[in-house]
Chains A and B, each alone.
Chain A
Amino acid sequence: MANLTLVQAINLALIQEMERDERVLILGEDVGLNGGVFRVTEGLHKRFGDKRVVDTPLAESGIIGTSIGLAMAGLRPIPEIQFEGFLGPAYDQICSHAARMRTRTRGAMTVPLTIRIPVGGGIHAPELHSDSPETVYIHQPGIKVIMPSSPYDAKGLLISAIRDPDPVMFFEPKRIYRAFREEVPEDEYTLPLGKARVVCEGNEMTIVSWGSSVVQCMQAIERGGRSIELIDLRTLYPFDMDAVEASVKKTGRCVIVHEAPKTCGFGAEIAARIMERCFLYLESPVQRVTGFDTIMPYYKLELDYMPDADRIARAIEETAAY
């Protein structure tokens, strides 16, 4: 066991997978000598050399497009997009190509790649360095989407993602890159994709969340003194509706928390599924605490945009009082 931050846990997962499997290589902007702008790939260039840790030209479409080729040829590329705000140029390659290759070739060609992307706000970063676009890619059929909220989960899920035969987007909440440490096994281990984690158990209400919002949820729960079950989805596609269903049937109330905008945010899908599966068990309407339907403001106002423990606590009380 080692006491690691999220950054260190991801770094360790990358090292172990690269050592285990020669087909694994890392490519992106500043991932080499510099170790990535968040130092997630720190030391990897030194350890594995130019061939397997590659600084690319500054072109996101190029990074993902060539990764698709590398993957179709049987390698296991792990491209990094430096910030979620720069996924734009890569969107076409991800959604029009990586996502579709298996089905359009009826399985003859597959794209086993894992795209790593720092995501979300809360670090006082400039414009387009603080967004939460996960819904866009959850909505795109053909891609798996992961967003861990703890070092332990990050390591196990990343290893599973790298070994997964399909394209995976692995979003890393930058607000909690170094926010806390956790015991993480030094040996390799995998966690199943598509399985949620029950962070704490309770019977009065269910909260469903993911990414750095999970930490805000925990703060709100600790403050309120209610018996609340917190579910961290961890994998956003495929997502663990069974876990949500079981919990909501037990509690009868549910609050969904995410940083991304409200309209068509992934919370909307969860709420609709709860209606499909748990309608007769509900004691109150499903409530959402989310980012607003606006552009993420520059950092002076970012904390007014992001769901925080206050807003979540308010939603908990509203839902309980219903």
Chain B
Amino acid sequence: MPIKSAFTTTIDHVSILDVNANFDEKLGAGLIPDGDLVRLYEHMCVCRHLDEVAFKLQRSGRMGTFPQNMGQEAASMGAAYALDKTDWLVPCYRENAGLFWRGLPMEMILLHWMGDERGNAIPRELYCMPLAIPIGTQLLHATGLAWAAKYRGEKRLACTFFGDGATSEGDFHEAMNFAANLDIPVIFFCQNNFWAISVPGKIQCSAPTIAQRAVAYGMDTIQCDGNDIFSVVYCVRKAAALAREKGRPFFIEAVTYRLGDHTTADDARRYRDQAEVDAWKTRDPILRIRKFLTTRGLWDDAKEAALAERAQRDVAAAVERAESIPPPDRNDFFNNMYATIPPDLALQRDTMQTHGIGQDPSQIEGAVIELPAKTSH
């Protein structure tokens, strides 16, 4: 017997509004109504402004490490727009735009990065999971969330976001395999921004696309221009339809770029060429929509100026809200450990400010203890 082909496949790439703002009418017409596009654009700009403000907050010591989302706004924004309001969004940390579109108050993201768990206390009706710090872990949670929807006979999906780096973790592969083999309606949305901190994409994946990894799991997949919100919306709608109708998972590779440093703790000049960054700046998702809106007569300089003002106002107000929240109570980290605090832990909580915790206070009763002067930290 001659050797014959056992399997071949192709990976489609979708681009609708290209770098020069050329628009593919066939694919793009009616995809996003004009009014919605204007609002999406405005949201993206506010999100971009938040990045700038957050950077300054970090530099002036008012906030801890912050990962800028700059350059990747179209990806999560497009996904959140294309999904139903009750589909789960399961993010990592570069999906601020999509979370804000869903309705997550901006100050919650700020609080999180200001070192305050209350930023994660997301109202249940928003169907947003808190940011995932350990890379790749949330893909399995998303698979479980979607599985629960299937179990209950709901039409709800989960869409989880992660980077190119995450596709190297074991959890990524386990999630893909579970979802494909157990028929779970979850959308895997990879933001391929070509870098995992300083490590280039080719260290994570030697294949020409990340999308083709899905093929190995028997999962439908597509690649899109992640800096083109139309392409993102097109692909997520397609994925959502398959998930809702057939209960199948779907993998989307959104090709995008991290225009900023990895986080405020990083200095990307150490490992990547400015020429590469500059080239990607011309493909900025925000520029592209502005051009498109302008040529259609939907946007002008006056509107742009008004938006810039509004962005400043909105972000400043969010910062104000985040900073005016009184500091968390010291007891907070005890009281939220279990549904009911175990007695031993309650003792630690109640004596933490008065005693060394090794000693049961009853053992030193009667001893007069003069403490050395307290220092403040």
Contacts and interface: CB of A to CB of B under 8 A. Distances in A.
B127 interface: no
Contacts of B169: 58-60, 89
Contacts of A88: 134
A310 B359 CA distance: 15
Contacts of B112: 298
A288 B197 contact: no
A318 B372 contact: no
Nearest to B113: A126
B114 A322 contact: no
A287 B115 contact: no
A317 B134 contact: no
A56 interface: yes
Contacts of B204: 57-58
A317 B371 contact: yes
B170 A89 contact: yes
B111 to A, nearest CB: 9
Interface of B: 64-65, 112-117, 133-136, 165-166, 168-171, 196-199, 203-204, 265-266, 270-271, 327-328, 330, 332-334, 337, 344-345, 348-349, 352, 355-359, 363-364, 367-375, 377
A263 B167 CA distance: 36
B333 A305 contact: yes
Q: Which 3 A-B pairs have the closest CB atoms?
A: A315-B356, A299-B115, A288-B358
B165 A58 contact: yes
A213 to B, nearest CB: 14
Contacts of A61: 170
A29 B166 CA distance: 12
Contacts of B133: 85, 126-129
A34 B271 CA distance: 6
Contacts of B357: 262, 288-290, 292, 311
Contacts of A57: 165, 168, 199, 203-204
A314 interface: yes
B115 A302 contact: yes
Contacts of A309: 375
B278 to A, nearest CB: 20
Question: Secondary structure of the A side of the interface?
Answer: mixed
Contacts of B337: 293-295
B28 to A, nearest CB: 35
A301 B328 contact: yes
Interface string A113-131: 0000000000011111100
Contacts of A29: 196-197, 199
A35 interface: yes
A285 B359 contact: yes
26 contacts: A29-B196, A32-B198, A34-B198, A56-B203, A57-B204, A58-B136, A58-B204, A86-B134, A124-B65, A126-B113, A285-B359, A287-B359, A288-B357, A290-B358, A293-B337, A295-B333, A295-B337, A301-B332, A301-B333, A304-B352, A305-B333, A308-B377, A310-B374, A317-B370, A321-B368, A322-B367
Contacts of A35: 270
Given A58-B168, A126-B64, A301-B330, A34 B348 contact: no
Interface in A208-242: 220, 223-224
A313 B371 contact: yes
B196 A33 contact: no
A120 to B, nearest CB: 16
Question: Among the interface residues B196, B199, B265, which one has the most CB atoms of the partner chain A within 10 A?
Answer: B199
Contacts of A128: 133-134
Interface string A55-80: 11111111000000000000000000
Given A126-B113, A302-B115, A318 B203 contact: no
B265 to A, nearest CB: 7
Given A313-B372, A315-B358, A294 B334 contact: yes
Question: Secondary structure of the B side of the interface?
Answer: loop
Contacts of A2: none
Contacts of B332: 297, 301
Contact of B348 (A124, A255, A262, A315): A262
A267 B204 CA distance: 41
A303 B375 CA distance: 12
Contact of A223 (B115, B328, B333, B373): B373
Contacts of A224: 372
Interface in A40-67: 55-62
Contacts of A262: 348, 357-358
A37 B79 CA distance: 31
Contacts of A318: 355-356, 359, 364, 367, 369
B369 A317 contact: yes
Contacts of B134: 85-86, 88, 128
Nearest to B364: A318
Interface in A240-277: 255-256, 262-263, 267
A298 B199 contact: no
A5 to B, nearest CB: 18
Contact of B345 (A220, A267, A293): A293
Contact of A303 (B203, B344, B377): B377
A299 B119 CA distance: 13
B53 to A, nearest CB: 18
Contacts of B349: 292
A300 interface: yes
A184 interface: no
A88 B377 CA distance: 31
A126 B266 CA distance: 14
Contacts of A293: 337, 344-345, 348
Nearest to A321: B367
Given A126-B133, A128-B134, A289-B358, A298 B116 contact: yes
